[in-house]
Amino acid sequence: MLLSVAAVTWHYVDRIDYYFDRNRLAGSQLDSVIRMSAAMNRYSENVAELLLLGRTELADFDEARDSLDSSLDRLEMLIRDEMSIIAIPEDRESERVELERVALMRSLYEDIDLRTQRLLMLRDQGRLDEAIQIFREEIEDSLDTTLEVHISAAIADEENELRLYQSRTKRLESELEWIISIVTAAAFVISAVGALLLARSLTRPIAALESATREIADGNLAYRLDYRGRDEFASLAAQVDNAAARLEAQRASLLDIQVGLENEVSRRTAQLEDANARLRKLDHMRMLFLADIGHELRTPLTVLRGEAEIALRGGSRTVEEHRDTLERIVQLCQQMTRLVEDLLFLARAEVDAIRFDMQRLDLRDVVEIALFDAAVLAEESGVLIERSPLADPCPVEGDAGRLSQAVLIALDNAIKYADRGAAVKVSLTCTGETATFAVANPGPEIPAAELPYIFSRFYRARQTTASGQSGSGLGLSIAKWIVEGHRGRIELSSADHLTELRIHLPLLP
């Protein structure tokens, strides 16, 4: 609408400016014609004075001639200027007619001027009467009948043009005023309607944005604007929805993290409680162990002391009796030495001070060595050892001495807790990638509740006490530490009056 108003206003202003220019040029032409008429009158008067009154000064005559020439030149220039701005063919034709009239007037004036020059020559020759007669017949008649007629016609035409241009200018100004008034009123109405529509179009999205921000501020991150469009509000609504979605995802992530932390805290709390319970149990076991160790050390020490006191007091004892006493003392010392060595071994294992001499070896040789030592223990306990045929070569990587110690501990326990006269069964199998050494002894069962703790240090099952067998409870712990140090595992099962211990070790290619 503004562009239309500007175009219409520009058109009217251009037309008004056009008629202003033509009005100015027409006024200038009228002024030139009037000046030319006055100059022509002065010219005629000067000619009459020169002829009739006999004046000899030509200054006024020359001035009138120059004024007449300049008026004709100026009138012709103004007409040509007006023709240069005219776009209508009819108006250009009218101006061309005026230009032809100026040329005709110039021609008449030049003819009169030539005759005047001839009259002045006749006067100077003393033929004044003849000159006056020619002036009255030729020049005055020509001036009155021809040139004055053209001048009057030019004045009338220019006056008509002025009136026409003024009327057209006033009409255009009036039309422009009406158009501006109508456009202003229409612009006011359209602006009011547009403002109302704009206000209504702004109110809805702003209210929706306000509602969304209130909902999101209240914690309802699932709220969405559902505003569709291609304007700035749609972009802002999309940004608000995206922000709410990100906040919702972050809150869900934080809640998941919180749940995870709570679960982790609960798990760690349970682990700490379990660890604390194990520590309390371990402390209790250590106390029991210390009590057992104190008891077991006190017994051989008491026996040693008693044997030594008897040997010292009995002056009539034979050499054989002294030898028996010394052998008993040596046996008790060996028992205490083994106990102390086990304690030192576990203490060094706890601080990782024991290193294995790892090398490639055949597990059958290790089992053979352990069985040779166990045969003496079995004979003393009245137990038989039944050996299954040993497997094919069982190459493993390990410390031969420590593996032999672990196998011997397994055999010693089996022999110690087997029923007297029973047979302890020993087997070695090498299948797949694992070598398995198994030893089974018939005898008292280990309660199922105690099986998980059977490899714990300082732990002795109740069946140990019930069977009357003594021990420190360190053997299986030492065996477990040795086997796991060789990347293996050890397990024990007890059911149906049969207890079986299995050692699994990885085979080499």
* Reported pTM: 0.41
Structure confidence by residue, pLDDT tens digits, 31-45? 888 887 787 777 777
**Euclidean distance between CA atoms 421 and 402, whole angstroms:** 30
Domain boundary, last residue among 151, 171, 189: 189
3-state DSSP call for residue 25? helix
Position 464 scores a pLDDT of: 46
CB-based contact 402:485 (threshold 8 Å): yes
- CATH of residue 23's domain is 1.20.120.30
Q: Is residue 264 situated within a structural domain? A: no
Overall domain count for the chain: 2
Average pLDDT over residues 243-258: 83
Across the range 294-301, mean pLDDT stands at 62
Q: Which residues contact 419 (CB under 8 A, 6 or more apart)?
A: 442, 443
Asked whether residue 320 is assigned to any structural domain, the reply reads no
User: How open is the CA angle 50-145-76, to the nearest 5 degrees?
Assistant: 85
Token pair for 238? 């999309």
Q: Which of 71-75, 320-324, 401-405 has the highest mean pLDDT?
A: 401-405
Percent with pLDDT over 90 in the chain: 12
pLDDT at 457 (0 to 100):
66
> What's the average model confidence in pLDDT over 456-470?
54
> For residue 222, what are the CA distances in angstroms to 200, 209, 231, 248, 488?
27, 15, 24, 7, 56
List pLDDT tens digits, range 408-418.
999 998 998 89
Asked if residue 71 is part of any domain, the answer here is yes
Q: Is 438 inside a domain boundary?
A: yes
Q: Which two tokens stand for residue 163?
A: 């009136």
Beta bridge partners of 426: 387, 439
pLDDT digits (tens, 9 = 90+) for 177-200: 888 888 888 888 888 888 888 887
CA distance 404 to 503: 12
pLDDT given at position 291: 61
Question: Is residue 262 pLDDT above 80, yes or no?
Answer: yes
Q: Identify the three-state secondary structure at position 126.
A: coil
Higher pLDDT, 486 or 8: 486
Residues forming a β-bridge with 442: 498
Full domain range(s) for residue 6: 2-189
Please tell me the predicted confidence (pLDDT) of residue 391. 65
Least confident range from 136-140, 213-217, 370-374: namely 136-140
Q: What is the pLDDT of residues 333-349, one digit of tens each?
A: 776 776 666 666 666 66
The lowest-confidence range among 103-117, 310-324, 452-466 is 452-466
Q: Is the pLDDT of residue 303 over 80?
A: no
Domain membership of residue 317 (yes or no) is no
47-69 tens-digit pLDDT: 777 766 665 566 777 787 788 78
Cα 210 from Cα 206, distance rounded (Å): 6
The mean of the pLDDT values for the chain is 78
The residue ranking higher by pLDDT, 191 or 206, is 191
Final residue of a structural domain among 189, 218, 248: 189
Given a cut of 90, whether residue 359 has pLDDT beyond it is yes
- Cα–Cα distance for residue pair 198/183, rounded to 1 Å: 21
Of 152, 167, 189, which residue constitutes the final position of a domain? 189
Please report whether residue 276 resides in a domain.
no
Q: Is the pLDDT of residue 419 over 80?
A: yes
Q: How confident is the model at residue 465 (pLDDT cuts 50, 70, 90)?
A: very low
User: CATH number for the domain including 423?
Assistant: 3.30.565.10
pLDDT of residue 289: 56
Q: Which of 135-139, 327-331, 448-452, 496-500 has the least mean pLDDT?
A: 135-139
